[in-house]
Structure 1
């Protein structure tokens, strides 16, 4: 994958490193556009197999999102609210003169993509939505209260939010906290060069704090395991409409962080849903099963 990045300064003052590539004969501003949003704890290279496969026909835009890799990494958690994260993508699309496009998101990038589709940000520009192992916020928040498997799988978030771990982040970067919170061992499926790249990015204390700030700025609260498995009396979902644009969900079915209960009830929340389940694949479906993901995306775009 061509990894020539450009630096884009947004009106907010945030600067993002962005991969912007497309058909060499047409120029990167022609043809249909795909905007790819990576998740935690990665970078634009989450999409290396997809961009390699689709950039001959589509303009592919993949930022290192706020807080990641070499992009701006403000240290205050208040800089990572969902409104600001959505705003980054809207401002980026404007800065790169993007008209209509397909929005593709994985993990926390998928959370941003869901939010953009649900709230109607850029509603006249998003033609399709593609989600890879990122839960619908209504389903996920409910499961945290009533589903023991999801609550247990999400306890790491409570550790990420614990300020007592800030000294560890500052002294040694992100990796020791991943080991502490997730018993992180890495993946045998990841190429050594990709692993080395991530380890270098994680070693930057400012980047490590910024990445954890995504979890501290308003994502769903995770109850402790000894809390009752029931919805609170005041529980309610925001009065938002269904996702109306055609939506593809590709889900690695061996995801340890997101049990497949997250797939239940999506037909009631998405008007035009295509669901592709990938067996024998974990959370990082984009590079753990790139052939299956790319085939699903190819069919959906066609």
Structure 2
């Protein structure tokens, strides 16, 4: 099962792109993170159960979706509303949902906004937004170590730097992050992200994911009493140097039911170990029966 080439979709919120595996099957919405696009699910999709209908949006400012000027559009609750508008336009009512990196945050925001439509939730290598205790333990550890590994976040938060320095240097910029801990990210994926990042205004739009982070975090700090009601899974690439193990502390109290699965991989676990990640997805999410 492979994802189709990007399709364009206009909604009241803007012009977006998405990849899918065609109609039929149980809808499984898969949301990419930074600095990737919906193409990040291409290698996973090869190993997914044929009973899934995959819908993989390109988030605003990335992939082939519109490059929108202005930080306000990149608050994660706003990005969630973008995806919801796409699903509404596609006539997708109930669905299962998985997200990686910033896409995992957007997935949580979707599940927070419309929990009655999300039947199962998957999060991959990103913070659980209602886990204030665990996330504060991460902050304390990072502060004690100096936090040098997070330089790229501060770089992108600095006004004007990303848009001034990345254009023309997309290959070096992306290869720095996409090395992989166990296996390299596939070359076809890297070529796709280089193409995408060369689209005008992409460095600024991508940087807005980080420039809005502090305000997003203030809002998430108010969610400590929230418990995710739907069955959930956290799939963790345990060689990640940025999303460190402390992010997993105390997450059991954030979910009515949570399963944690570790994969021997780095941050981009779904690109490093697509077959293993797909097997985990197949084992937790629920495909529709396929006629033999």
TM range (shorter): 0.7 to 0.9
Unaligned stretches of 5+ residues in structure 2: 287-292
What is the match of residue 16 of structure 2? 16
Indicate conservation of the 8 Å contact 2:41/2:270, yes or no. yes
- Indicate if the aligned counterparts of 2:67 and 2:202 stay in contact, CA closer than 8 A: yes
Deviation at 1:170, TM superposition (A): 6.6
Q: Which runs of 5+ in 1 are unaligned?
A: 23-27, 223-234
Compared CA separation, residues 127 and 3, structure 1 to 2 (3 A): same
Q: Which residue of 2 aligns with 1:231?
A: none
CA RMSD of superposed structures (Å): 2.6
Contact conserved, 2:44 with 2:278, CA < 8 A, in 1?
yes
1:65 — aligned with what?
59
Cα 1:221/1:160, change in 2 over 3 Å: farther
The number of residue pairs the alignment matches comes to 277
SS in 1 for 2:154: helix
1:255 aligned to 2:240? Answer: yes
Distance 1:33 1:167 in 2: 36
The answer as to whether partners of 1:80 and 1:213 remain within 8 angstroms in 2 is yes
Q: Is the 8 A contact 1:107 1:132 kept in 2?
A: yes
Q: Per-residue displacement from partner, 1:29-71 (whole Å, max 9, x unpaired)?
A: x331100100000010111123223362111100111101221
In structure 2, relative to structure 1, the CA distance for the partners of 1:83 and 1:301 (3 Å cut) is closer
Cα distance between partner residues in 1 of 2:76 and 2:63: 19
CA deviations 1:239-280 (Å, max 9, x no partner) are 55111110011101000111111111111111100110112x
| Alignment match, 1:52 | 46
CA distance in 2, matches of 1:245, 1:2: 27
TM-score normalized by structure 2? 0.85
Whether the 8 Å contact between 2:48 and 2:279 is mirrored in structure 1 is: no
Residues 27 and 92 of structure 2 are in contact (CA less than 8 Å); yes or no, is this contact kept in structure 1?
Answer: yes
* Alpha-carbon offset, residue 132 of structure 1: 1.3
Aligned equivalents of 1:147, 1:270: Cα separation in 2: 24
Residues 40 and 189 in structure 2, CA contact (< 8 A), matched pair in contact too: no
**For the Cα contact (< 8 Å) 1:21–1:61, is it kept in 2?**
yes
Deviates more, 1:124-133 or 1:191-200: 191-200
2:78 to 60, 84, 89: 84
Matches within 5 A, 1:218-297: 218-219=213-214, 237-238=222-223, 240-279=225-264, 281-297=265-281
Q: Which has the higher contact order (CA 8 A, sep 6+)?
A: 2
| Separation (CA, whole Å) in 1 of partners of 2:60 and 2:163 | 22
Aligned pair in 2 of structure 1 residues 152, 143: CA closer, same or farther (>3 Å)?
farther
CA distance in 1, matches of 2:237, 2:215: 22
Choose the corresponding residue for 2:161, options 155, 161, 165: 165
Shift of 1:288: 0.7
CA contact (8 A) 2:104 2:123 kept: yes
Q: Is the Cα contact below 8 Å between 1:145 and 1:151 reproduced in 2?
A: no
Cα deviation, residue 219, structure 1: 4.5
